Structure 1
Amino acid sequence: MKSIFKTLLLIALLSSCGNKSNNKTTHYIGAYRIMDQMVPYPYIVKQNSDSLYLFNNSGLLIDRTEGERIEKNKTIEFKEKHFNVLNRKKDNFYAFDLLDTLNFRPFKNGAPNPKNSVKFVQIQSDFDIDIRLLKNDFKNTIWEYNVVEDENSNPNKDLEIKQTIKVKEDSLYVLTDYYYQGIKTVSEFETKSYNLFKIDSICFLSFQKEENNPQTIFQIVEHRPGKIDLRDFSSSEIKDISYYKSSFKEDDYVNSISNANKYSNCFDGYQGEYYFGDDVTFNKGNQFLIDYVSKNAPITEDKSGYIIVQFTINCNGDVGHFGLIQMDRDFKKMSFQKEIIKHILSKVSTLNDFPSSYSQIEWLDYKDIHAFLMFKLHNGKIVDLCP
């Protein structure tokens, strides 16, 4: 009798454990699509024991399907997205949207191309964040943080990049300042809409531009007054970012915006390279650039070498998103005086006579392009320029 009782008890316990496991809710955040371009994919998938839910970048439930689970080689059929699961691991999965052949380009035979799939990463929350307090703090604070660069950032060795966020009604300013040896060289700003939302116990922050310019969804991992910790899954390495309450005064911030260049990428997912497609070199030629940048340039030292200004040209011909690399004549790292660096960056930031950067290549879509100007200096004076 005891043996039978023990057996029944064991079966009951195992059944209970199985039910708990099946009832577990798992959340996956869209990281990026296209492995070598890393275009943000702003969707969230939630899996229950018997249902899958699909949320957009505003936290709105846009679809639900029953009797489905995330398994390799299976297709999850939402109304407008059919995710064919190509690879399934413990904490992520890759999927290919069979209904979206524009953004998920298959092989020529129509089969899903793993390179063009989307990566979903499993997430969880260690803190139950009060979304009301978070929203109130976010709206009433000017936030600053140091930019964490990744694969989509322009090459940069010598600039410190700081961004500051100020909310205004239903949108916000993002002010980007570029510092060299402690001094501000150039500034730019853009405006975005934003969404702060919560799904179950997990909070998220997303930005919003035009519908065809997808923006990253950040997971908010912790909030304390004057500090927000976020997690960014949109590159190959997961990035942790912290927003801190800025010492910026309201009037000073408004003044900084008025003195900054307005710049925004037309597509934030991927920038082409200057050597692709049509020639995007400056319309007026290199000699004009040398003369323009050299005018009133300070000569404070007799060093010789190269100052390479990296930047992005958007679809309107504007420049922004700067990086800086300096080398001596033997192509080894060196540093020039801050006066000449500030002068060159300020001059380059005003250039606006570049041709359209829209891709003309069928297999490589982009709207913005990465470019650089490599200034050659001899005894402190600009003497040549390439490319």
Structure 2
Amino acid sequence: MSCQTEKNVSKYPSTVGNIEFDSELDDADFKKCIPEKLVPIQYYQGNQGFNYRGEKIAIEEKLKRENIFSKKDINGYFTVRFIVNCDGKTGLFRGQHMDSDFKEKNLDQDLENKLLLFTKSLDGWIPKEMKGGVKIGYYQYLTYKIENGKVSEVLP
């Protein structure tokens, strides 16, 4: 037996679904606005509804104006998950693509890049507030349902 103790370092984040900073993907100036040991809450926590100016319909209308589509006849889903901080700024974007059977599959890299850039361009996010008016960050996601190469629905 030894008196030495080993420091256990987990390869898993402190909370399932945490998005950890990646210097190759993320803006170093983005701040989560929360104490180091706390994680942002999820988009559905609290009673403030969909926290975007103009609600989800504003996002759908902007997407329609942008006319983003694929030249390929593809079907599936592309989800972008990110953090909205206490100032309403967004960062730490992560994408996931799936076919219509929810199996991981590359759909169309060009379309995915356009949808990621579109999501990053959305600037109407509203911070959530805790009791006492303290603004906090939260995880948000948008899933784009793609049918025949076009976005047919934005979820949630």
- Shorter-chain TM-score range: 0.7 to 0.9
Deviation at 1:280, TM superposition (A): 5.0
8 Å CA contact 1:309, 1:373 repeated in 2 = yes
In the other structure, the counterpart of 1:356 is 127
Q: Which amino acid is the alignment partner of residue 106 of structure 2?
A: S
Q: Deviation digits for residues 156-213 of structure 1, max 9, x if unmatched?
A: 8xxxx851xxxxxxxxxxxx52xxxxxxxxx5231xxxxxxxxxxxxxxxxxxxxxxx
| Identical counterparts, % of pairs | 19
Q: Equivalent residue for 2:31? A: 264
Q: Could you say which structure has the greater relative contact order, defined with CA pairs below 8 angstroms and 6 or more residues apart?
A: 2
The partner residue of 1:309 within 80, 86, 90 is 80
Supply the distance in 2 between the matched residues of 1:266 and 1:351 (Cα, whole angstroms). Answer: 19
Q: 1:155 to 1:291 in 2, by over 3 A?
A: farther
Match of 1:189 among 28, 47, 61: 28
2:57 and 2:79 map into 1 onto residues whose CA distance is 17
Q: Flag the structure with larger Rg.
A: 1
Counterpart Cα distance in 2 of 1:317 and 1:341:
24
* Aligned equivalent of 1:91: 5
Secondary structure, in 3 states, of the residue corresponding to 1:336? coil
Across the aligned residues of Structure 1 and Structure 2, the Cα RMSD in angstroms comes to 3.0
Q: Which consecutive unaligned segments of at least 5 residues does structure 1 have? A: 1-88, 93-120, 123-147, 164-175, 178-186, 191-262
TM-score, structure 2 normalization: 0.77
CA deviation map 1:55-99 (0-9, x unaligned)? xxxxxxxxxxxxxxxxxxxxxxxxxxxxxxxxxx9627xxxxxxx
For the residues of structure 1 that align with 2:74 and 2:145, how far apart are their CA atoms?
11
CA distance in 1, matches of 2:142, 2:118: 12
> What is the TM-score with the length of structure 1 in the denominator?
0.34
Q: Is this contact kept in 2: 1:314–1:367, CA < 8 A?
A: yes
- Partners of 2:72 and 2:149 within 8 A in 1: yes
3-state SS, counterpart of residue 374 of structure 1: strand
Question: Within 2, Cα distance between the matches of 1:278 and 1:347?
Answer: 27
Q: Does 1:372 align with 2:141?
A: yes
Aligned to 1:291: 61
In 1: Cα distance, 2:12 partner to 2:93 partner: 12
Paired letter, 2:98: M
- Mapped contact 1:311–1:370 kept (Cα < 8 A): yes
- Aligned 8 A contact 1:155 1:323 in 2: no
Residue 128 of structure 2 aligns to a residue whose secondary structure is: coil
AA aligned to 1:355 is: I
Residues 121-166 of structure 1, C-alpha deviations (whole Å, 9 max, x = no match): 59xxxxxxxxxxxxxxxxxxxxxxxxx872458568xxxx851xxx
One-letter code aligned to 1:286: K
Structure 2: 5+ residue runs without aligned partners? none
1:1-387 matches, cutoff 5 A: 91=5, 121=7, 150-152=13-15, 154=17, 162-163=22-23, 176-177=24-25, 188-190=27-29, 263-267=30-34, 268-269=36-37, 270-279=39-48, 281=50, 282-294=52-64, 295-360=66-131, 367-387=136-156
Indicate conservation of the 8 Å contact 2:86/2:135, yes or no: no
In the alignment, the residues of structure 1 paired with residue 60 and residue 12 of structure 2 have an alpha-carbon distance, to the nearest angstrom, of 30
> Is this contact kept in 2: 1:311–1:372, CA < 8 A?
yes
